[in-house]
């Protein structure tokens, strides 16, 4: 069965001024759509057509580069849109906030570690907050890899991710990835991240 692109869970302009409308339109309608289309092309007529996206992603080490890259791209972007919201940001609360403080020392120390993971990821990739063996950890992956993949350097269950490909920020922030990551915190949907944390 072919994979499909879900609409954004909010308007293209919902994340203004932190992430601009045109970036959201191109990012969702062109980039994410291309991952879905190329994933469908790569699995057409193969056994992978019968597998779920999670199953494909988890076995990234034994699937073709086209399925790994585009399957990862589809999974990562769907996860990313749901990690964000308009009128969001601020700080997490409850058990997630306690776990962040206990693990990283403070919310600010966590943000610095996450930003640094994104800034130091050479080329294109993602920064992540994951749950690994019941504990929070910050990591990053290259290209469209993610921490669910068997090939990931640091494996775990992602609960928050930031796309640091240039296509995610270049129109508004040009080469200033650090400025984009600072703005990212204004649109994080902490309710969703907390829900994932409780489930992990």
Residue 60 beta carbon to Mn ion: minimum distance, rounded to whole angstroms = 17
Residue 33: which H helix or E strand, with range? helix 33-43
Residue 70 beta carbon to Mn ion: minimum distance, rounded to whole angstroms = 12
C-alpha distances in angstroms, 178 versus 41, 64, 85, 114, 161?
35, 33, 20, 11, 15
Residue 124 beta carbon to Mn ion: minimum distance, rounded to whole angstroms = 8
> What residue number has its CB nearest to Mn ion?
163
Residues found in the chain: 200
Q: Which stretch binds Mn ion (CB under 5 A): 37-45, 58-66, 157-165, 187-195?
A: 157-165
Decide if residue 145 touches Mn ion (CB under 5 A). no
Decide if residue 165 touches Mn ion (CB under 5 A). yes
Whether the Cβ atoms of residue 181 and residue 115 lie closer than 8 Å to each other:
yes
Whether the Cβ atoms of residue 31 and residue 119 lie closer than 8 Å to each other:
no
Q: Which is nearer to Mn ion, 145 or 163 (CB)?
A: 163
Decide if residue 163 touches Mn ion (CB under 5 A). yes
Q: Which is nearer to Mn ion, 81 or 197 (CB)?
A: 81
State the burial class of residue 166 (Cβ atoms within 10 Å of its Cβ: 0-12, 13-18, 19+). middle
Q: Which is nearer to Mn ion, 165 or 184 (CB)?
A: 165
User: Under the rule (CB under 5 A), what is the footprint of Mn ion?
Assistant: 163, 165, 168
């Amino acid at each position: 069965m072919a994979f499909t692109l879900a609409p954004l869970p909010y308007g293209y302009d919902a994340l203004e001024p932190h992430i601009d409308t045109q970036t959201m339109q191109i990012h969702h309608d062109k980039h994410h759509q291309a991952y879905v289309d190329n994933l469908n092309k790569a699995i057409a007529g193969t056994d992978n057509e019968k597998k779920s996206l999670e199953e494909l992603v988890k076995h990234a080490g034994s699937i073709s580069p086209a399925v790994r890259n585009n399957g990862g791209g589809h999974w990562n972007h769907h996860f990313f849109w749901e990690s964000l919201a308009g009128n969001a940001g601020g700080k997490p609360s409850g058990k997630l906030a306690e776990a962040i403080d206990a693990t990283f020392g403070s919310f600010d120390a966590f943000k610095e570690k996450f930003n640094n993971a994104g800034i130091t990821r050479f080329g294109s990739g993602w920064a992540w907050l994951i749950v690994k063996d019941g504990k929070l950890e910050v990591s990053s992956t290259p290209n469209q890899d993610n921490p669910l993949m068997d090939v990931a350097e640091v494996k775990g269950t992602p609960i928050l991710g930031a796309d640091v490909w240039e296509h995610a920020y270049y129109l508004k922030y040009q080469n200033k990835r650090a400025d984009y990551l600072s703005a990212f915190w204004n649109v994080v949907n902490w309710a969703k991240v907390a829900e994932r944390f409780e489930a992990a």
